[in-house]
Chains A and B, each alone.
Chain A
Amino acid sequence: MKPILKVENLTTSFQGEEGRVTAVRNLSFELHKGETLAVVGESGCGKSVTALSILNLIPNPPGKIDNGCIWFEDRDLTRLRKRDMRKVRGNQIAMIFQEPMTSLNPVFTVGRQVMDSLIIHQNMTKKKAHAAAVSLLTSVGIPEPELTVDRYPHQLSGGMRQRAMIAMALACRPDILIADEPTTALDVTIQAQILNLLRNLHDEMNMSILLITHDMGVVAQLADHVLVMYAGEAVEYRKSKELFKSPHHPYTEGLLKSIPSLTEDHLVLYNIPGSVPPIHAEIEGCRFADRCSYAQPYCREHKPELEGDRESKVRCHFALNVT
Chain B
Amino acid sequence: MQIPVEGFMYPNEVELQWSVLIVLYPYITGLVAGAFILASLERVFRVEAVKPTYRLALLTALSFLLVAPMPLQLHLGHPERSFEMYLTPHRSSAMAMFGFVYLWYLMAVLLLEIWLDYRRDIVLKAQTSQGFTRLLYRLLSLGSNNISERSLRIDERLGYFITLIGIPSAFLLHGYVGFIFGSVKANPWWSSPLMPIVFIFSAMVSGIAAVMLLYMLTTHLRTRTIDMRCVDTIARYLLYTFVIDFSLEMLDLLQRIYEADESFRSLDFMVHTRLWTSQVIIQILLGTVTPIVLLGLTQVLTLTDTARKRIYAIAGSLTVVGIFAMRWNVVIGGQLFSKSFLGYTTYKMGFATREGLLTAIVLMILPFGILWVLVKLLPPWPDAGSLPASGTTPAHGTT
Chains A and B are bound partners: no
Interface positions of B (Cβ within 8 A of A): none
Interface positions of A (Cβ within 8 A of B): none
